[in-house]
Structure 1
């Protein structure tokens, strides 16, 4: 029998994160296009991001035919938050007064690329990229490449660049609670065994300066 879940955050009721999810306004519209395989994932950070933003939306699918009309007639300048050749540093858009829509593919790198392959209009959008050298707090997944962030981390970083440093950091509270809950469920020993480097870093951050483990 499946455990009852929260209809809003889709977490088990005993681990509902809704109380930690802020509600923030943004000038930038954020449209998250999620591959269907991610929708039921226990670590679904895209849903948390969409819940936190008044001007955010999450859509699930492999193709999004409705975007053809929306992109042609929308009031926002649409950009794809995805690395690639010719991607513009996102910080360069911070001075542009035109309303911006960030379209964010959500899925593994392979599945995110598949979304673009199936939808040439998405692949043709101007691309913007986050600064290099970022590090993820996502301690339960091994990053496929240096600087790879979870979806919610990428959105927070992007909005902070566009609208003011720190303005959207509150979105990371449920994300951190989600990670800590998963670590607690698996147990410290299992976490150490499967995520050695991340586990060591987490433990070192939790120990006050001058203490020893």
Structure 2
């Protein structure tokens, strides 16, 4: 029989994270496009990010018929958090947010699934791209990063927002994420964790961040 789950955070009621989820405001609007294969993942950091940010929207699927409307939200300039040859460092692009707030579009899935989101939704390919600084380390200790600097989706969003809205801080958003990781480590036992995971960093695309590209929450 399935365990009762919290309707909000989708965790088992005995491990509900809602008390740790903040209510953070941001000038930047965050649109998270989560590949449908990630929605049921136990480590769903995209959902935690959307719950913790008042100015955020989480959509699940592979193709999004309303994407044009979401990107045309009045008063915002859309950009895509995803690496690429044309990607601009987020700190540089942040200057554009001084006059017009940004709509930060974040694909969420493994790198392969995140790329598929771009392929299936050509409007995303036309957006200006921003990328995170190099040399970042993930706190996602239950997964080996597919490449150096890969972060979970929620970590990538925090880094991007802090660069765009400096000196504002968004680290509170990571509280439920860290509790989730600690709970997973406790459940597997210290010995198992040390043997299989200690010393390996975890990730997401982008987990671009986004649970990252092959990253994933």
- Compute the TM-score of the two structures, normalised by the length of structure 2: 0.88
Kindly provide the CA deviation profile for residues 142-163 of structure 1, in whole angstroms up to 9, marking residues without a partner as x: 1111110000000000111111
Kindly provide the CA deviation profile for residues 40-80 of structure 1, in whole angstroms up to 9, marking residues without a partner as x: 11000000000011100110000112112333464311000
Instruction: After TM superposition, give the deviation of residue 27 of structure 1 in Å.
Output: 0.2
Q: Which residue of 2 aligns with 1:134?
A: 136
- What are the ranges of 5 or more consecutive residues in structure 1 without an aligned counterpart? 200-213
Regions of 4+ moved over 3 Å: none
Instruction: After TM superposition, give the deviation of residue 175 of structure 1 in Å.
Output: 0.6
Q: Following superposition of structure 1 onto structure 2, how do residues 98-177 of structure 1 map, counting pairs within 5 Å?
A: 98-165=100-167, 167-177=169-179
Q: Indicate the structure whose relative CO is greater, using CA pairs within 8 Å and at least 6 residues apart.
A: 2
CA distance in 1, matches of 2:66, 2:105: 14
Instruction: After TM superposition, give the deviation of residue 192 of structure 1 in Å.
Output: 1.5
Q: Following superposition of structure 1 onto structure 2, how do residues 68-107 of structure 1 map, counting pairs within 5 Å?
A: 68-72=68-72, 74-96=74-96, 97=98, 98-107=100-109
Kindly provide the CA deviation profile for residues 7-45 of structure 1, in whole angstroms up to 9, marking residues without a partner as x: 000000111000000000000000000011111110000
CA distance in 1, matches of 2:89, 2:164: 11
Segment of structure 1 superposing worse, 73-82 or 45-54: 73-82
CA distance in 1, matches of 2:155, 2:42: 17
SS in structure 1 at match of 2:176: helix
- What are the ranges of 5 or more consecutive residues in structure 2 without an aligned counterpart? 202-217
Segment of structure 1 superposing worse, 74-83 or 53-62: 74-83
CA distance in 1, matches of 2:183, 2:69: 41
Segment of structure 1 superposing worse, 17-26 or 189-198: 189-198
CA distance in 2, matches of 1:169, 1:177: 13
Q: Which residue of 1 aligns with 2:12?
A: 12
Question: In terms of Rg, which structure is larger?
Answer: 1
SS in structure 2 at match of 1:80: strand
